A and B are shown apart, each in its own frame.
Chain A
Amino acid sequence: MSKTSKKVPAVKNRKSFGVYMKRYWQLYLLLFLPMLYLIIFKYVPMVYIQIAFKKYSIVQSVWEMPLAAQHGFEYFIKAFKNKDFLNALRNTLVLNLLDLVVGFPAPIIFALILNELVFTRFKRVVQTIAYMPHFLSWVIIYSLALQMFAPSNGLVNMVLQNMGLEAVHFLDKPGNWIVSYILIGVWQNFGWGSIVYLAAIAGINPELYEAASVDGAGRFKKMWHITLPGIRSTIVVLLIMNLGNILGSGFDRPFAFQNNMVMNVANVISTFVYTNGIKSLQFSLTTAVGLFQSVICVIFLLLANWISRRLGERGIW
């Protein structure tokens, strides 16, 4: 590869710059739009973060707004005195932790099961079906859930009632709602999540399995001693990403699943910000909450990466 710019002597610097640009200007032209996009839509919003420390006013520009009380930390203090926010914070942590505990192993287990299938065509059909839920929007998934679990006319409850049992309120009692929310999340993601693990399993040296068979290892011994160690680094990387996101919260899933009966357990930070910010216009408070969340997320991600390096695994970057 030619490194034109470095090889020419300093005296010809201007000329070499001309030569360099003549060669590369097109690449800068191509990058112009994406960079413009990133700066406008990812960096300019950061200017508005200062609203978290200021008294929001609709008539002033962001720079002119007066600093909030308590050296600008008024809204952070208010947030941590706000019952709804503390509730949303707790719900975010609880739902994410449950997602991690229940949802994280599911794709791994499914990949291990698929790997044991000897019928190739059957395996492909099962895979296609298992990927399907990933392509449904959360609104559709919620309406599917309603059709299945509605107390009076949901399929499951109709069967339960026919068996002489009480109808179960899957989606409108707080405790049941959490279980449904988590399990439906597993339903949506186990197939899609397994793709990565299947690829990692495909990369394991087949000779290892042959050697183990010669030594008389059974199916589960091979699974435990060859397959699982073979995909360990993939598991760790994905676990780190998930841990880094422990305080993150998507919006689409919780918002689609919320209903008035379960707000106490279903309101998470992202939906709190939406209802209190965009709906009720408390911009300073919700910006402070959002900033708190973003900062914690970055810290968690860096921490998780550092831990994984200490454990001797590769980090995510």
Chain B
Amino acid sequence: MIKSKSAKAGDWIFVLICIVVAVICLLPMVNLLVKSISSTDALVKHEVYLWPKGLNFDAYTTVLGDAKYIRAFFWTVFLTIICTIVSLVMTTLCAYPLIFEDLKGRSVFNIIITITMFFNAGTIPNYLLMKSLNLLSNPLVLIVPSCLSVFNMIILRSFFYGIPDSLRESAEIDGATYIKILCSIYIPLSKPVFATLALFYAVGRWNGYSDALMYMKEKDYYPLQLLLYNIINNINSVEVATQEGFSTPGLTESLKAAIVMFSTVPILCIYPWLQKYFIHGVTVGAVKE
């Protein structure tokens, strides 16, 4: 950009618009945070707006003291880490061989991949497949069926294309095998795009609940989001109420808020640090050079 002269009146209008937009983005989160640390009394009396009333952390103590949430939290963290690692490995395995233009059968592989982007067998065929593979209610069903995203593979492949062939060729002359070239040249040079893809996969797993809803009947393996879905929609509300021993709506309210905070904060702490990487990743995926 050209270095700006002094800001004009017009510039301040755009600043104002952006401030309004930012407030709209943050307001629901602030509201939630405030509710989660306000007292039951103030909530029932509808006195809580954007500043906590009767500041207390009871809701958080309850959540952190409840084995069910802690278990779901750590299970989801574990699941997210495993999924991210497995998916990154699978994505690399798929993307790397396809950059070799003289690989025989490359076009066949590309066709196999492209068709899956446009045509999906559908929910029921997928469900019946999981059933026949005996994956229903098996924890693996939350990892394996989603371990490769073709869109992410394309992002990685176009990044690999950007690495000069000369680097690879000189390594080939030195007698390095292709796996060695992958490990010593391509992976170290692709750290930014791996950070992006790791974020995409991790967010996808952390936020996803539909696969667990459809394939997972075992409550112990529910990821946090599905648990949250059930709590918000008061599924088994009787059970929840008797287990936790709450009957006052106010505490449930702040408890709900606390649980939502609890299941959002990890992702919100991570994404700002990866911003400059994922911007690149999104752009590669959507804008063809």
Contacts and interface: CB of A to CB of B under 8 A. Distances in A.
A128 B92 CA distance: 28
Interface in A271-314: 273-274, 277-278, 283, 286-287, 290-291, 293-294, 297-298, 301, 314
B260 A128 contact: no
B124 A24 contact: no
Interface in B167-197: 177-179, 182
A142 to B, nearest CB: 7
Given A127-B275, A147-B32, A136 B264 contact: yes
B238 interface: no
Given A129-B25, A196-B282, A45 B11 contact: no
A1 interface: yes
Interface in A206-255: 206, 209-210, 219, 234, 237-238, 251-252, 255
B283 A142 contact: no
Contacts of A49: 121-122, 125
A117 B179 contact: no
Given A140-B264, A147-B35, A252-B208, A287 B94 contact: no
Interface string A18-42: 0010001011101101110111111
Contacts of B32: 143-144, 147
B203 interface: yes
A33 B93 contact: yes
B124 A51 contact: yes
A143 B232 contact: yes
A107 to B, nearest CB: 11
Nearest to B18: A126
Contacts of A119: 7, 15
A274 B212 CA distance: 13
| Interface size range on B against A | 35 or more
Interface string B109-146: 10011101011111111111100010000000000110
A255 B210 CA distance: 9
Contacts of A26: 177-179
B56 to A, nearest CB: 18
Contacts of B260: 140, 143-144
24 contacts: A1-B101, A20-B104, A31-B93, A38-B112, A38-B116, A41-B126, A41-B144, A43-B116, A45-B121, A48-B128, A117-B11, A119-B7, A132-B268, A142-B232, A148-B27, A155-B49, A155-B50, A252-B208, A273-B122, A278-B123, A278-B127, A290-B123, A290-B125, A314-B288
Interface of A: 1-5, 20, 24, 26-28, 30-31, 33-35, 37-49, 51, 110, 113-114, 116-119, 122-123, 125-133, 135-140, 142-148, 152-153, 155, 158-159, 187, 191-192, 195-196, 199-200, 206, 209-210, 219, 234, 237-238, 251-252, 255-256, 259, 270, 273-274, 277-278, 283, 286-287, 290-291, 293-294, 297-298, 301, 314, 317
